[in-house]
Amino acid sequence: MGALLFPGQGSQIVGMGSEFFQNFEKVKKIFKDADEKLNFPISKIILNGPEQTLQLTQNTQPAILTVSYSIFKIMVEEFDFDLKQIKFFAGHSLGEYSALVCAGSLNFSDALFLLHERGKAMQEAVPLGKGAMLAVLGIEIGEVKELIKKSQNNRSGICEIANDNSKGQVIISGDSDSIKKFQLFLKEKKIKSIPLKVSAPFHCSLMKPAAESMSEKIKNTNFTKPKFDIINNVKALPETEAENIKSLLIDQIYSTVKWRESIIKISEYGVSNFIEIGPGKALTGMVKRTLNDVKSFSINSIADIKNLKNEFKK
C-alpha cells in the first residue's frame, strides 16, 4: 500500500513543473485556470520567475499547489496510475491543501484563493524582520522541548516548535529576539542549528491573527468528504469529515506541523510506499530519516512517473 505526500513552502524553484507544462495541454489549462482565478500571471512567475517574486509567501503557496496538482493529474489521467494502491494522502503545511484538492475534498480554484489569502495573512501577521525560524538538528523533539523550557527561564517572548519534520530535524518559530537567544543557548550546548530564510515565523502563536483572518474564508468554502483519508498536520490522525477538516486548517496556521508523527501513523497502517508529488525532494528525505524498511519516491518529472509505474508493477 502507498501514501501520496504533497510538499510545502521551501520546495519552490523557478521553472518547477515546466516539463509538464511543455508536454501536456491539460497542464497548460491548469496554469491558465490559476492565472484567471488569481487575476495575475502566477504561471509566468512559476515558469520564469523572478525568484524574489516566487518567494513571496502569497505567490509561493498557490504556485506549489498548481505544480503539485498538475503532476497528480498527469500521473492519474495520462499515465493511469492506479489510486487503488493508495491508502492515505498527506501534505506538509500548505501541502495539506494540495492533498485535499487531489483527494476530491476541495475545488482547485477555491484552494488557490485560500492559499493566496493565507499567504498574505501569514505575511501580514508579523512585521518583516520581527519573526524568525530555526532548524535544530541531531536531537529529538522531547529534548528540544526541554531545551526551550530551560532557555526561556520565565522570560517572555515566543519560542515554539513549528515543525516536527523527522528524526533529528525540528523547526522552531517565534519572535526574532527569542529565536536568537535560543540559538546562542544551543551553541553553548554544542547543538547544531541553522536559521531559515523565511519572511515570517510560521506555525507558532504569532500566527493567530492570520488564523483569525482566514477563519471565515475557510468556513465559507465548500469542502466535501475526501475520497481518501487525509492525515492532518495538527493531530497527525486521519480525518474525512468536512467541518473537522476546516477547523483543523484554521488551527494549522499557528500549530505545530506534526509531520514525523504523521509519517509514523501512516506506516502503522501497513503503508510501505511513500510518494512525494510536487517540486523538490524534502518530504522524501524526511521519510528516509524517520522510517526504515519503506520505499520513498519523489515525482517531479515524466521519467519519475515512468519509474514509479515500473516499481509498482514488480
**pLDDT for 156:** 83
Statement to judge: residues 116 and 151 lie in one domain:
no
251 located within any domain: yes
What nine digits make up the cell of 212?
483569525
Q: What percent of the chain has pLDDT over 90?
A: 94
Catalytic residues: 93, 203
Most distant CA atoms of the chain, gap in Å: 58
Q: Is it the case that residue 155 has pLDDT exceeding 80?
A: no
146 located within any domain: yes
221 located within any domain: yes
170 located within any domain: yes
DSSP string, 106-167: B-HHHHHHHHHHHHHHHHHHS-TTSEEEEEEESS-HHHHHHHHHHHHTT--S-EEEEEEEET
| pLDDT, tens only, 249-300 | 999 999 999 999 999 999 999 999 999 999 999 999 999 999 999 999 999 9
Lowest mean pLDDT across 154-163, 183-192, 257-266: 154-163
Statement to judge: residues 176 and 236 lie in one domain:
no
Statement to judge: residues 140 and 28 lie in one domain:
no
End position of a domain, from candidates 166, 195, 224: 195
**pLDDT for 23:** 98
Which of 132, 131, 134, 150 has the alpha carbon at shortest distance from 189? 150
Statement to judge: residues 163 and 288 lie in one domain:
no
55 located within any domain: yes
Q: Is it the case that residue 312 has pLDDT exceeding 80?
A: no
Statement to judge: residues 174 and 287 lie in one domain:
no
142 located within any domain: yes
Statement to judge: residues 107 and 26 lie in one domain:
yes
Q: Looking at the whole model, is its pTM more than 0.85?
A: yes
pLDDT band at 154 (very low <50, low <70, confident <90, very high): low
57 located within any domain: yes
| pLDDT, tens only, 28-74 | 999 999 999 999 999 999 999 999 999 999 999 999 999 999 999 99
How many domains, in total, are found in the chain? 2
Statement to judge: residues 116 and 232 lie in one domain:
yes
| pLDDT, tens only, 200-252 | 999 999 999 999 999 999 999 999 999 999 999 999 999 999 999 999 999 99
Residue with the larger pLDDT of the pair 76 and 198: 76
What is the DSSP-derived secondary structure letter of residue 232? P
What is the identity of the amino acid at 113? F
Q: Is it the case that residue 182 has pLDDT exceeding 80?
A: yes
**pLDDT for 152:** 82
Statement to judge: residues 37 and 105 lie in one domain:
yes
**pLDDT for 153:** 76
End position of a domain, from candidates 195, 216, 244: 195
What nine digits make up the cell of 278?
510536487
Statement to judge: residues 105 and 245 lie in one domain:
yes
Statement to judge: residues 79 and 179 lie in one domain:
no
CB count, 10 Å around CB of 95?
29
Contact 206, 158 (CB under 8 A): yes
| pLDDT, tens only, 75-104 | 999 999 999 999 999 999 999 999 999 999
Statement to judge: residues 157 and 186 lie in one domain:
yes
**pLDDT for 314:** 58
What is the DSSP-derived secondary structure letter of residue 83? G
Q: What CATH number is given to the structural domain containing 189?
A: 3.30.70.250
CB count, 10 Å around CB of 187?
11
Statement to judge: residues 224 and 91 lie in one domain:
yes
Residue with the larger pLDDT of the pair 273 and 128: 273
191 located within any domain: yes
Angle between the 57-77 and 302-313 helix axes, to the nearest 10 degrees? 50
Q: What CATH number is given to the structural domain containing 306?
A: 3.40.366.10
Q: Is it the case that residue 139 has pLDDT exceeding 70?
A: yes
The pLDDT of 111-123, averaged and rounded, is: 97
End position of a domain, from candidates 195, 216, 247: 195
Domain range for residue 211? 2-125+205-313
**pLDDT for 197:** 86
